[in-house]
Amino acid sequence: MKHLSGHCGTLAALLALSLFVVADEARAQSYPGKTITISIATAPGSAPDSIIRAMAQKMNESWRQPVVVENRATAGGIAAVTTAIKGAPDGHTLLVHTAAFTIAPSMYKLPYDTFKDLRPVSIIAYVPNLLVAHPTLPVKNVREVIALAKARAGDLNYASSGSGTPAHLAGELFKSMAGINILHIPYKGSPPALIAVLSGEASILFSPMTIAVPHTKTGKLRALGLTTAKRSKLLPNMPTIAESGLPGYEVTQWYGMQVPAATPKEIITKINGEVSKILAMPDIVEKLASFGAEPAPSTPEFMTAYVKSEVEKWAKVVKASGAKVD
């Protein structure tokens, strides 16, 4: 009788599991069933915002459901994340964040758990930053910047879009790996940081590629190297910082999509497939390129590992540099 009871218990557990799987599959097949809201951690008109709105239109056309983009631009992207995790875990609430998401755990006391409250869907795009200098600075490449910084210790400075931003920590990583001392000057956003270098108020800047390139073409800025591990398809003749005197240096601006943690795997898989399909569309690829971005669809598993590695990387940089939010 004990054997029979145990056998029945096993059958009941298997039946419950199969019903659970069938229910998840049914939800995935009927998804989406209402308006989808994308909480994005950037301001209206920014590169990520423009890209995501173009993708949202494609989702609307494919799924025949409204797709609303809500901008929640705050330091570290915290407001966008907290809004997203409060949404129902049914695939109708999506979060899109930038690389600042993986810096935030080291810079702020967060009202959420970076790994437990969200589940990755896919990386969307990679965006190289470009190290640029005011043309009066007597340097033509990365090696010369490092040599000048060592010869004039403490004299050089770099602008950033604010303390704790990817541009700031790109500079701190550069300083640490090169063994140099250059002063960080934080500004309130990318535009004033760019203006500071254009005017000569600051020496160098780690800038989003598309913002900087027009000024390098007119000679108002001098391009020195890309921050990514590999050269950009959009700027193939520009060497990376890693190949220009600082092996191993890599800083990538990127955008990623996540959902509330309890969202069923089948729905995540469906959203992932849609994102991958959209990122392969020629007009979306062209839209990305206009902002210096390259499509980078991934599996949820790859994004999970990537987020973990980036959080660990920036934690080390923040600790070593003593970086703090103003």
Q: How buried is 267 (Cβ within 10 angstroms: 0-12 exposed, 13-18 middle, 19+ buried)?
A: buried
Sequence-distant (≥ 6) Cβ neighbours of residue 92 within 8 angstroms: 32, 33, 34, 35, 36, 37
Higher-confidence residue of 20 and 216: namely 216
Is residue 239 one of the residues assigned to a domain?
A: yes
CATH number of the domain bearing residue 218 = 3.40.190.10
For the chain, how many structural domains are there in total?
2
Judged by DSSP in three states, 271 sits in: helix
β-pairing verdict for 36-40 and 93-97: parallel
Most confident of the following: 6-10, 162-166, 176-180: 176-180
Residues 141 and 171 occupy one common structural domain: yes
How is residue 322 annotated by DSSP? Answer: T
CA dist 11 and 93 (Å) reads: 36
- Mean pLDDT of the region 23-29: 65
Residues 21 and 93 occupy one common structural domain: yes
C-alpha distance from residue 10 to each of 4, 7, 15, 18 (Å): 10, 5, 9, 12
pLDDT of residue 36: 97
**Helix axes of 265-279 and 300-321: crossing angle, nearest 10 degrees:** 80
Query: Which tokens go with 183?
Result: 């002063």
Q: Is the pTM of this model over 0.75?
A: yes
CATH number of the domain bearing residue 285 = 3.40.190.150
Is residue 288 one of the residues assigned to a domain?
A: yes
Residues 118 and 265 occupy one common structural domain: yes
Domain boundary, last residue among 215, 244, 273: 244
pLDDT of residue 269: 98
pLDDT of residue 322: 87
Residues 237 and 158 occupy one common structural domain: yes
pLDDT of residue 244: 93
Q: Which domain holds residue 273?
A: 10-127+253-321
Is residue 326 one of the residues assigned to a domain?
A: no
β-pairing verdict for 222-226 and 118-133: antiparallel
Residues 98 and 150 occupy one common structural domain: no
pLDDT in tens, 253-273: 999 999 999 999 999 999 999
Spatial contact of 127 and 324, defined as CB atoms under 8 Å apart: no
Judged by DSSP in three states, 49 sits in: helix
pLDDT of residue 292: 87
Residues 40 and 117 occupy one common structural domain: yes
pLDDT in tens, 31-40: 999 999 999 9
Portion of the chain with pLDDT greater than 70, in percent: 92
pLDDT of residue 234: 84
